Copies of this chain bind each other. A is one copy, B any other.
């Protein structure tokens, strides 16, 4: 019957109405929690200038970006593209509207971003991200690192999933401080990368990779020891002390970690938060706190979000110093994991409360009147108009609605009707 391929293009998450309702309920729940925590919602354009989007990006991001070209124009020199995250457009937004915003600017963004990466399970080319950020002008207290974490964790907790969700938290100053203290600056990028990949490769590969850097056994063992540290903040900080590393950067990192995770533990998030030195986050704009959200029972899928502190949000756009901290929930991937593993039961049964079924078109006006009445009472109502037999109409009504009202001549005259339960 089909004349063309009507599947969505590869890498898209197209949902049937019931799954969409569940997805939207989760998304709206996240939005509600973000709002409750005092974050103002904004939406930036999906299309922006390449000059803005690629100001800092490079490597994979540049390769994955979708440029846009108007058909009527030459495709050479396309200077516009689709946003690939919420952070870069936010940087532009904050610089552009600086005078109209109040700092610290607590802001949320919920919407689709776009990356033309190779489609794989749980990775989408169009994907929803739900972000909170706090942007300071000149300075931004460390408290806001805890603020975005608590907000995102509250949002994740509000889903009431049947599987735990945790935030694994570290601070990049710790690794950077260790690298400085051990004089390994030349191997810094490699060390970050090895830590970042350590969970995706067998343990001996990590040892091999460190050995290949030629940093000596003692240093190698310190890096390995650091990577073992995971748990409540007291025990992790104690483990960090036992590494015997000194230096201001390292100390700053440890005390920031202690303050941020400690704040969360005290505020009732102990079950959901863990200090974990394997978290470094690939993107190089993070400068302090870094974290990832995971489902410990489903680690194979990778993180379902994360974030951290960046000392200078918009350094490519302005001389103004705008430190920020943000958290992002990768909703499309999260929803994929939940759906694949039946972790979220469909939260809507039938959407329609009452289907009003006129037997013939003679009762249609009366049916509309009855429907209007029920609507004004707050019900979800639909009128089933059809030239088909009553039996067929009722079958359809029962499939979409919880209750039905059949209206014939008698009902139209008397103004009285009975409500039929379909469930």
Residues of A within 8 A of B (CB): 1-9, 12-17, 20-21, 24, 35-38, 40-49, 51-52, 55, 62-72, 75-76, 78, 80-82, 92-93, 95-97, 100-104, 106-107, 112, 114, 116, 125-126, 139, 141-144, 146-147, 150, 154, 263, 266-268, 316-320, 351-352, 355, 361, 364-365, 368-369, 372, 375, 378-383, 385-387, 396, 399-401
Residues A8 and B48 in contact in the complex (CB < 8 Å), given A17-B41, A75-B76, A263-B364? yes
Q: Which of B1, B100, B317 is within 8 Å of A2, CB to CB?
A: B317
A69 and B69 within 8 A (CB):
yes
Q: Which of B6, B67, B125 is within 8 Å of A317, CB to CB?
A: B6
A38 and B382 within 8 A (CB):
yes
B38 and A400 within 8 A (CB):
yes
Complex Cα–Cα for A267 and B345 (A)? 38
B112 and A46 within 8 A (CB):
yes
The complex is assembled from copies of this chain, and their number is 2
B49 and A9 within 8 A (CB):
yes
Residue of B nearest to A142 (CB): B385
Q: In whole Å, how far is A308's beta carbon from the nearest beta carbon of chain B?
A: 18
B70 and A69 within 8 A (CB):
no
Residue of B nearest to A7 (CB): B96
A36 and B380 within 8 A (CB):
yes
Q: Which of B126, B142, B144, B316 is within 8 Å of A47, CB to CB?
A: B126
Interface class of chain A by DSSP: mixed
Residues A318 and B1 in contact in the complex (CB < 8 Å), given A78-B69, A126-B46? yes
Known contacts A150-B368, A267-B365, then 4 further A-B pairs from the complex at CB < 8 Å, ordered by chain A residue: A9-B45, A20-B40, A24-B41, A67-B68
Residues A68 and B41 in contact in the complex (CB < 8 Å), given A267-B369, A385-B141? no
Q: In whole Å, how far is A62's beta carbon from the nearest beta carbon of chain B?
A: 6
Complex Cα–Cα for A267 and B372 (A)? 8
Q: In whole Å, how far is A139's beta carbon from the nearest beta carbon of chain B?
A: 7
Which residues of B lie under 8 Å from residue A263 when comparing CB positions? 364-365, 368
Q: In whole Å, how far is A49's beta carbon from the nearest beta carbon of chain B?
A: 6
B45 and A12 within 8 A (CB):
yes
Complex Cα–Cα for A364 and B145 (A)? 13
B107 and A35 within 8 A (CB):
no
